[in-house]
Copies of this chain bind each other. A is one copy, B any other.
Amino acid sequence: MPRDSLDDLDTKLLAFARDRDWEQFHSPKNLSMALAGEAGELLEHFQWLSEEQSANLDADRKDLVALEMADILIYLVRLAQRLDIDLIDAAYRKLDINQARYPAGQVRGDARRAEEYERE
């Protein structure tokens, strides 16, 4: 069975950091800052666009956005590696929690409930 793409990425990112002796900077605290910094850069691409414009990026902008998202994924995978967290498992656990908390029949199209979802 092929290894999963996130596992492969994790292996390559760890080698990248070790080859440069940069693991010393990669405490979970520091990685959380780097991740949030990249999330801030992502925001900057969208902040003056309307929602509709944000869904219709030109090719150049879309590529820049893809690389910002890559940075976020890279730090997320690095952080998971440092804390020995299985990201995919955590995502499915969170999805199960959300499915129990927001039954489809009760929250359909309801922005308020969608928002509560965020406040957890």
| Chain A interface (Cβ < 8 Å from any Cβ of B) | 1-2, 4-6, 9, 12-13, 16, 19-22, 24-25, 27-30, 32-52, 54-55, 57, 62, 65-67, 69-74, 76-77, 79-80, 82-83, 85-88, 90-95, 97-99, 102, 104, 107-111, 114-115, 118-119
Residue of B nearest to A2 (CB): B1
- Bound-state Cα–Cα, A71 to B72, Å: 13
Q: Which residues of B contact A20 (CB under 8 A)?
A: 102, 104, 107-110, 114
Could you show 23 A-B contacts with beta carbons less than 8 Å apart? A1-B2, A4-B5, A5-B6, A12-B95, A19-B108, A20-B102, A20-B107, A20-B109, A20-B110, A25-B114, A28-B46, A28-B55, A28-B57, A29-B50, A30-B48, A32-B45, A33-B43, A35-B42, A44-B118, A48-B114, A55-B82, A69-B76, A74-B91
